[in-house]
Chain A
Amino acid sequence: DTGVSQDPRHKITKRGQNVTFRCDPISEHNRLYWYRQTLGQGPEFLTYFQNEAQLEKSRLLSDRFSAERPKGSFSTLEIQRTEQGDSAMYLCASRSGRTSEAEQFFGPGTRLTVL
Chain B
Amino acid sequence: GESVGLHLPTLSVQEGDNSIINCAYSNSASDYFIWYKQESGKGPQFIIDIRSNMDKRQGQRVTVLLNKTVKHLSLQIAATQPGDSAVYFCAEIPGSSYKLIFGSGTRLLVRP
On A, residues with C-beta under 8 Å from B are 2, 4, 31, 33, 35, 40-45, 48, 55-56, 58, 91, 93, 100-109
- CB within 8 A of B45: which of A2, A42, A56, A102? A2
- CB within 8 A of B105: which of A33, A40, A58, A109? A40
- CB within 8 A of A42: which of B42, B93, B104? B104
Are A48 and B43 in contact, with the CB atoms below 8 A? no
Contacts of A43 in B (CB 8 A): 44, 89, 100, 102
Are B43 and A31 in contact, with the CB atoms below 8 A? no
Can you name the residue of chain B whose Cβ is closest to the Cβ of A100?
A: B49
Are B100 and A45 in contact, with the CB atoms below 8 A? yes
Report Cα–Cα, A106/B98, bound state, in Å. 15
**Contact residues, B27-52 vs A (CB, 8 A):** 32, 34, 41-46, 49
Q: How far in angstroms is the closest Cβ of chain B from A97?
A: 11
- CB within 8 A of B99: which of A40, A42, A48, A91? A48
Are B99 and A45 in contact, with the CB atoms below 8 A? yes
7 intermolecular pairs with C-beta atoms under 8 Å apart: A33-B98, A33-B100, A35-B100, A41-B105, A43-B100, A102-B93, A103-B34
Are A102 and B32 in contact, with the CB atoms below 8 A? yes
Are B99 and A33 in contact, with the CB atoms below 8 A? yes
